[in-house]
Amino acid sequence: MITVEDLHKHFGGFHAVDGASLTIEAGSITGLIGPNGAGKTTLFNVIAGVLEPTSGRVFMDGEDITGLPPHTLFHKGLLRTFQIAHEFGSMTCRENLMMVPGDQAGERLWDTWFGRKRIANEERALKAKADEVMEFLTIEHIADLRAGQVSGGQKKLLELGRTMMVDAKIVFLDEVGAGVNRTLLYTIADAIKRLNEERGYTFVVIEHDMDFIERLCDPVICMAEGAVLAEGTLAEIKANEHVIEAYLGT
């Protein structure tokens, strides 16, 4: 689904991504691991259009998507999750989900004057969709709470929920497990697995928790110093001497 060819991202003289090449198979849950500073987040940001690459190419289903902005990629079904922005913390969790699909009738001036019925219908459909998403993620009980009040793990589920409000094909998740308790971590893992199996989502997951990676990811790609060091099952990666060296060197 995604092919990355010889990607480079330099910050001044520093090569954060330094010749990374990889493929992501449709239907997979691919894990991206590697020591801190390996370039994982930068790679994500370049693929998702948040950063422009210095050189190299990214393809999605054979189409060159290098340097396309996030909103264009969003419409192609490529999404990167982001933390719920501080300014949306005072909105309810349901409202945070309802905001996701852009271009709603209510946002168009003409419709705010003449299309009240259409706006009402659209809002009803969005609310139903948001409720369905929260039920899938087993977070119906937080629907009316302000997003700023819920726990770290619930926020992560909400971030995942945002991808379900549109027709995502491939979702990039950056450190879903950071600061999340074990029970919620497994709920998140379960939601990812069900989205993959039941809705055909492809996932790429950056995660430090090896238990989480082991439950969920095949294959696993290990990066170090801006490039791909190894790829395989987690067991193969763990036994790879270059990987061991890279982790010990940090």
Min dist CB 33 to ligand ADP, Å, is 9
Per-residue tokens: 208: 């430090």
Q: Tell me whether residue 195 or residue 237 sits nearer to ligand ADP (CB atom).
A: 237
Min dist CB 43 to ligand ADP, Å, is 7
Helix/strand/coil (H/E/C) assignment for every residue in the chain: CEEEEEEEEEECCEEEEEEEEEEECCCCEEEEECCCCCCHHHHHHHHCCCCCCCEEEEEECCEECCCCCHHHHHHCCEEECCCCCHHHCCCEHHHHHHCCCCCCHHHCHHHHHHCHHHHHHHHHHHHHHHHHHHHHCCCHHHCCCEHHHCCHHHHHHHHHHHHHCCCCCEEEEECCCCCCCHHHHHHHHHHHHHHHHHHCCEEEEECCCHHHHHHHCECEEEEECCEEEEEECHHHHHHCHHHHHHHHCC
Round to whole Å and give the CA distance between 83 and 108.
27
Q: Tell me whether residue 42 or residue 96 sits nearer to ligand ADP (CB atom).
A: 42
Q: Tell me whether residue 62 or residue 249 sits nearer to ligand ADP (CB atom).
A: 249
Q: Give 10-30 as a DSSP string.
A: EETTEEEEEEEEEEE-TT-EE
Beta strand pairing call for 29-33 and 55-60: unpaired
Q: Tell me whether residue 18 or residue 159 sits nearer to ligand ADP (CB atom).
A: 18
Min dist CB 178 to ligand ADP, Å, is 12
Q: Tell me whether residue 70 or residue 106 sits nearer to ligand ADP (CB atom).
A: 70
Min dist CB 113 to ligand ADP, Å, is 43
Q: Tell me whether residue 36 or residue 183 sits nearer to ligand ADP (CB atom).
A: 36
Min dist CB 32 to ligand ADP, Å, is 8
Min dist CB 45 to ligand ADP, Å, is 8
Min dist CB 112 to ligand ADP, Å, is 39
Round to whole Å and give the CA distance between 180 and 75.
30
Q: Which residues bind to ligand ADP, rule: CB under 6 A? A: 11, 14, 16, 34, 36-42
Q: Tell me whether residue 37 or residue 232 sits nearer to ligand ADP (CB atom).
A: 37
